[in-house]
Every structure is written in C-alpha cells, then in structure tokens.
Amino acid sequence: MNEHTSKKFDAELEGIRTRVLQMGGMVELQIVKAMEGLSDGDLLLIDQVIENDNRVNLLEIELDEACNQVIAKRQPTAVDLRMVSTVQKTITDLERIGDEAKRIARIGERLVAEEGDLDVMALLAELGAATRGMLRGAL
C-alpha cells in the first residue's frame, strides 16, 4: 500500500483490509463446519453454522459502512478508490458464501434426520474442501 500524508488514512485502509481477511476466515470456518457437520452428522456443528450466519451478515454491513465513510471523508483516488471498491464487492461475495454455508447446514439437518447416503456425504466433503481451497486462494 502507498503511504499517505495522513497516517490515520493509512490506518483506516489497513483496518478495513484486516477486517475483510477476518471476515474471509470466518466464512471459511463456516464452510468447514457446515461440511464437517454434514459428513459427520454433527448437529452441533450444523447449528453453529446457522447461528453464526448473523455475525457474517453484520460484519458485511459494518465493513460496507466503513468503506462508505472512507469514500465520504477521504475522497480516495486511483489505487485507494479501487481498493475500497474491491473490498465492497468482496464483502458482498463473502456474505453470499456465508449464506451458502448456512444453506449447506440446513440441508445437513435434513440429511442427518433422514440418515442420508454416506457416499453422497463423502463426495460433498470433497467438494467442500475444494471450495475452501478456492476461497483461501482468492483471499
């Protein structure tokens, strides 16, 4: 990142960047728990995913507001504006991924109740691991 004359501006941008990575880690953990809950039939993990979805949603709102504040107060240009714009798009995508993890957890609840096919669950676990790797690479 470029250094600005205002150290506070640099700190704001770094704070946003750090929180996006934290959100990404939270979403990654949601995927892991959803897939483990699904493959192991662990209703506790599945419930944690469903409950934690609100935390991901709130973090998206907080980060979007922080980005809007930076735009309004600092009027960033060039590289900084692109970074803030990219963050806003990224947090939207992360929130959607979190929603999908919640959806997987809900499906897991049904499969556990129905004692679903273990072969299908094993295949889904592989897909979850691949998804996690793609998310980590993107972050």
pTM of structure? 0.84
CA angle at 61 for the pair 8 and 36, rounded to the nearest 5°: 115
Q: At what angle do helices 43-74 and 78-114 cross, to 10 degrees?
A: 160
User: What is the chain's pLDDT, residue by residue, as a tens digit (139 residues)?
Assistant: 455 657 888 899 999 999 999 999 999 999 999 988 888 888 999 999 999 999 999 999 999 999 999 999 989 988 999 999 999 999 999 999 999 999 989 988 887 777 766 667 667 777 888 888 888 888 7
Residue 83 CB neighbour total at 10 angstroms: 18
Buried b (16+ CB within 10 A) or exposed e, 13-25: beebeebbeebbe
9 burial level (CB within 10 Å; 0-12, 13-18, 19+): middle
Q: Dump the DSSP string for 23-41.
A: HHHHHHHHHHHHHHHHHHT
